[in-house]
Amino acid sequence: MEKNSNTPEGLYAIAEDFEKGERFEEAIRRFTEIKNKFPYSNLAIKSELAIADVYYKQESYAEAQVAYQIFKDLHPSYAQADYVQFRLGMSYFQQLPDAIDRDLSQANDAILSFSDLIKKYPSSQYVAEAKVKKTATIRMLAEKEEYIADFYFKREIFDSALSRYEALYSNYSGLGFDKKALSRMVISAKKSNDAAKATKYFKILAKDFPGTPEFRAAEKGTIE
C-alpha cells in the first residue's frame, strides 16, 4: 500500500522504511520534514528522537550526542527520558578512543550522563548497563593517569611521578591500582627527599598490602 507523504503518519512510515533499509540520510531528511511540515503533530516529537537514533545507528556519535542533548533540553518530561539520558551517555562513550594515550575529553561527559541516569531514574532498565559503562570510563581515566605517572617514574622525574600517583590513588581508589600507586608514591617521595610523605604512604601500604611485591619494592626503594 502506498504511503501518503502529505500526512505525518504516512511520512513517518516512509522515514521508518528508509531507516530499516539503512538509507540513513534519506530517513533523517524525512523525519526532519515531519518536524517542519507538521510541528504540532505528536509525530513531530517522535521524529526529533528518531533523528538522534538514526545518527546513533549509523555511528555518527557526535551528531547523535548533539541531537539527544537538544531533545533532552526541549522535552525534559518525555516519557522515555531515561532512554534519552542513556543514549546521550552512550553517544559520549562511543566517541572515546581505544588507546588511553589519546584524547579522553569526552570521558567526564560520559560519566556525568551515566551518573544522571543512575540518580534520576534508579528503576530504569538502562541503569545496569549505565553502571558498567560508567565504571569502564572511570577505569580509562585511571589507566591514563597511571600511564602518565609511569612515564615520569621511568624517566626518574620523581616529583611529577609522585603527584600523578597521588592523583591515581586518591581519585581512582578501589579499581586495582592502589598497591602500585602507594608503592611508587613511597619510592618517588624518597627520591624527592620528601621523608614525611614517604613515611605516611609506607604506613598505609604496610597496613593494606603487607608482604606484597609492591610492599617489598617500597621497602627497598626499588622497582619490582
Mean pLDDT across 85-102: 91
Rounded Cα gap, residues 62 and 13, in angstroms: 26
**In the chain, how many domains are there?**
3
**Contacts made by residues 10-16, CB under 8 angstroms, sequence distance 24+:** 11/37, 11/38, 12/43, 12/46, 12/47, 15/47, 15/50, 16/50
Q: Residue 29: which H helix or E strand, with range? A: helix 24-37
When pLDDT is cut at 50, 70 and 90, the band that residue 1 belongs to is very low
Both 48 and 33 in one domain: the answer is: yes
Contact criterion met (CB below 8 Å) for 134 and 115: yes
pLDDT recorded at residue 153: 97
Domain that holds residue 213: 156-224
Location of C-alpha cell 624517566: 155
In this predicted model, which residue has the larger pLDDT, 170 or 103?
A: 170
Both 37 and 88 in one domain: the answer is: no
* Whole-Å CA distances, 125 to 83, 128, 154: 9, 7, 45
Rounded Cα gap, residues 196 and 186, in angstroms: 10
Angle, helices 42-57/81-94, rounded to nearest 10 degrees: 20
Q: What average pLDDT is seen over the chain?
A: 93
Location of C-alpha cell 578501589: 174
Rounded Cα gap, residues 70 and 186, in angstroms: 48
Q: Does residue 148 form part of some domain?
A: no
pLDDT digits (tens, 9 = 90+) for 166-214: 999 999 999 999 999 999 999 999 999 999 999 999 999 999 999 999 9
Cα 71 to chain centroid distance, Å, stands at 20
In this predicted model, which residue has the larger pLDDT, 40 or 150?
A: 150
Q: Does residue 113 form part of some domain?
A: yes
Backbone angles phi, psi at 106, to 5 degrees: -80, -10
Length of the chain measured in residues: 224
- Burial letters for 87-126: b for 16+ Cβ neighbours within 10 Å, e otherwise? bbbbbbbbbbeeebeeebebbebbbebbebbbeebeebeb
Mean pLDDT across 112-139: 97
pLDDT recorded at residue 222: 61
pLDDT recorded at residue 102: 77
Location of C-alpha cell 560519566: 111
Q: Considering the chain, what percentage of its residues have pLDDT values greater than 90?
A: 82
Both 71 and 136 in one domain: the answer is: yes
Q: 40-44, 54-58, 87-91: which has the minimum mean pLDDT?
A: 40-44
Burial class (CB in 10 A: 0-12, 13-18, 19+), 130: buried
Query: Is 26's pLDDT higher than 90?
Result: yes
Both 50 and 66 in one domain: the answer is: no
The CATH number for 114's domain is 1.25.40.10
Query: Is 3's pLDDT higher than 80?
Result: no
In this predicted model, which residue has the larger pLDDT, 96 or 101?
A: 96
Both 133 and 169 in one domain: the answer is: no
Q: Considering the chain, what percentage of its residues have pLDDT values greater than 70?
A: 97
pTM, two decimals, is 0.85
Rounded Cα gap, residues 210 and 56, in angstroms: 48
Rounded Cα gap, residues 179 and 177, in angstroms: 6
Rounded Cα gap, residues 85 and 98, in angstroms: 23
pLDDT recorded at residue 2: 52
pLDDT recorded at residue 90: 98
Both 46 and 70 in one domain: the answer is: no
When pLDDT is cut at 50, 70 and 90, the band that residue 39 belongs to is confident
Backbone angles phi, psi at 7, to 5 degrees: -120, 150
